[in-house]
Amino acid sequence: MSEYIEHNADGPSVGLVKKETFTFDEGGSGLTLDSGRTLPSVTLAYETCGTLNEDKSNAILVCHALTGDSHVAGYYNEEDPKPGWWDLMVGPGKPIDTDKYFIICSNTIGGCMGSTGPMTRNPETNHPYGTSFPVVTIGDMVRCQRRLVDHLGIDTLLAVAGGSVGGMQVLEWSVRYPDRVRAALPLATTTKHSAQAIAFNEVARQAIMADPTWNKGDYYETGRPEHGLAVARMVGHITYLSDESMRHKFDRRLQDRVELSFDFEADFQVESYLRYQGNKFVDRFDANSFLYLTKAADYFNLENQHGEGSLVSAFSRASCRYLVISFTSDWLYPTYQSKAMVKAMKKNGLDVSFCEIEAPWGHDAFLLPNDRLNGLLSGFLNRVSNEITGDK
Digits of tens for pLDDT over the chain (392 positions)?
Answer: 555 455 555 678 999 999 999 999 866 778 999 999 999 999 999 999 999 999 999 999 999 999 999 999 999 998 888 899 999 999 999 999 999 999 999 999 999 999 999 999 999 899 999 999 999 999 999 999 999 999 999 999 999 999 999 999 999 999 999 999 999 999 999 999 999 999 999 999 999 999 999 999 999 999 999 999 999 999 999 999 999 999 999 999 999 898 999 999 999 999 999 999 999 999 999 999 999 999 999 999 999 999 999 999 999 999 999 999 999 999 999 999 999 999 999 999 999 999 999 999 999 999 999 999 999 999 999 999 998 877 55
Give me the catalytic one of 164, 245, 289, 385: 164
- Does 263 carry a binding-site annotation? no
pTM: 0.96
> First-to-last CA distance in the chain?
40
330 assigned to active site:
yes
363 assigned to active site:
yes
d(CA 371, CA 382): 16
Give me the catalytic one of 97, 140, 267, 330: 330
| Half-sphere CA count of 284, side-chain side, radius 13 A | 12
Give me the catalytic one of 64, 237, 306, 363: 363
Strand 59-63, strand 159-163: pairing: parallel
- Does 351 carry a binding-site annotation? no
Give Cα separations from 211 to 131, 155, 214 (angstroms). Answer: 15, 46, 6
Give Cα separations from 335 to 8, 234, 263, 342, 358 (angstroms). Answer: 28, 24, 40, 11, 11
Specify burial of residue 66 (Cβ count, 10 A radius: 0-12, 13-18, 19+).
Answer: buried
Query: Which fold is adopted by the domain 20-193+300-391?
Result: Rossmann fold (3.40.50)
Q: Residue ranges of the domains in the chain?
A: 20-193+300-391
Residues contacting residue 154 through CB under 8 Å, at least 6 positions apart? 52, 56, 59
